[in-house]
Amino acid sequence: GAGVSQTPSNKVTEKGKYVELRCDPISGHTALYWYRQSLGQGPEFLIYFQGTGAADDSGLPNDRFFAVRPEGSVSTLKIQRTERGDSAVYLCASSLLAGDNSPLHFGNGTRLTVT
């Protein structure tokens, strides 16, 4: 079946610009997560949605980062006034149930490069 889909796969932007990264989770998965992975590091948690609401956004580094999931399916991660330090791979994951420890299924990520 179809996995988690992320678009675009690559995004190059200039410092100070606004970007949107999209995630299509596995159909029927109620929980959706965003992680960020820098080179040579493991993924770092950003935000978790249960349905349409952000259940935990404690990993967002600052108020330039915002994410939405208006209909409980597709999610968009929005980054304002991008900085070179935002360059990383942004991973989206989904899981069947929220509130338990069912495994996360990851997409292949969006590689963001801020020049």
Q: Which residues bind other proteins (CB under 8 A)?
A: 4, 31, 33, 40-45, 48, 55-56, 58-59, 91, 93, 95, 98-99, 101, 103-109
The alpha carbon dihedral of 31, 75, 54, 104 has a sign of positive
Minimum gap (Å) between residue 51 Cβ and other proteins: 13
Query: What are the tokens at 34?
Result: 């965003």
Minimum gap (Å) between residue 41 Cβ and other proteins: 5
Closer Cβ to other proteins, 67 or 104, answer by number: 104
Q: How far apart are CA 38 and CA 64, in angstroms?
A: 18
